Amino acid sequence: MSYGFLCSKKMANLKEVRTRIASVSSTQQITSAMKMVSAAKFRRAQNAILAMRPYAQQLNAIVSGSDVADGVRTLYHDIRKLDRVLLIVVVSNKGLCGAFNANVLKAATARMEHYQKQKVASIGMITLGKRATEFFSKQKGLVLASYDELLDNPTFDAACDISEQVMRDFCAKRYDRVEIIYNQFKNSITQVLSTEQFLPVQPVSVSEKAVVKGLRNDYIYEPDKETVLRDMIPLMLRSQFYRVVLDSVAAEHGARMTAMQKATDNATELLKDLKLSYNKARQSAITNEIIEIVSGSEALKG
């Protein structure tokens, strides 16, 4: 093998490494910028859900608590034979957020299979997030409606419009059960995959009974208890749906921020390795050139 061939091969390897270094460096800058953008969005989303969650939980506890809502039953409490089920799947419009979307899509698919094994006659789906819309639209007739734009600007009024339509359909007996599948926000690193029954309204959970016990139960109702609670239950459902949307948005930005941080760290480590390889290859090429020059010089002397 000639010296010229060796030299050109080493130069090609060095050029390849330089190209990879430039590529990884560019990717690192992009992921770092995306992390900062997600961090800013995450702070706003976190503040929104932390402000909303206590109100929604306490309202649910008041309405569902046995000490407050004894004997009051509405169309929203109607438990029927399961023939028609509606699944509301909440994901994100964008990717690059780790397993955030994949976990929800997997859980929704498992829930569908669960009801199919139970011989449920009809399963419908409402999607919030382009990832779910694109994934489930492959099954003809499954996705009844999609509200992807809500996630870009989650407002209470927009969430109310969707939840009220679902409530009307349930009362009209178009569905016998409505469930919401989403990621619940815990912190910037952790999201809790959750499946909640939206309709029919369930009794208060054990964890919420402690909240109810701390509340007064000697209320004076005007005009009467049943009328007041019949107005409060739709408000509770609307608040619950809005809280789910805010939970998912905060969880999404937290997941993306974490994913971009990991990507940036990985790029940093890869850059270190590439620069080390480049320096070693460059040093080796220079050493070989010096050896060739010295050998040529000695040959001429001889």
* Integer CA distances (angstroms), 136 to 104, 182, 217, in order: 12, 15, 46
Asked if 83 and 122 touch (Cβ cutoff 8 Å), the reply is yes
Domains defined along the chain, listed by start? 44-257 (3.40.1380.10)
Is residue 216 scored above 50 in pLDDT?
yes
pLDDT attached to residue 82: 93
Count of beta carbons in the 10 Å neighbourhood of residue 176: 20
In the predicted structure, residue 77 carries a pLDDT above the cut 90: no
- Lowest-pLDDT range, 79-88, 99-108, 124-133, 224-233? 224-233
Q: What is residue 66's predicted lDDT score, i.e. its pLDDT?
A: 46
- Alpha-carbon distance values, 70 to 16, 75, 209, 240 (Å): 74, 15, 14, 21
**What is d(CA 204, CA 63) in angstroms, rounded to the nearest whole number?**
8
Q: Which SS3 state, helix, strand or coil, does residue 184 take?
A: strand
- Which of the pair, 4 or 48, is modelled with greater confidence? 48
Cβ 146 vs Cβ 133: under 8 Å: yes
Q: CB–CB of 183/192 below 8 Å?
A: yes
pLDDT-wise least confident of 17-31, 174-188, 198-212: 198-212
- Mean pLDDT of all residues belonging to the chain: 86
Share of the chain above pLDDT 90, in %: 62
- Give me the residues paired with residue 90 across strands: 128
Q: What is the pTM of this model?
A: 0.84
Q: What is the pLDDT of residues 114-166, one digit of tens each?
A: 999 999 999 999 999 999 999 999 998 899 999 999 999 999 999 999 999 99
DSSP of 136-162: HTTSTTTEEEE-GGGGTS--HHHHHHH
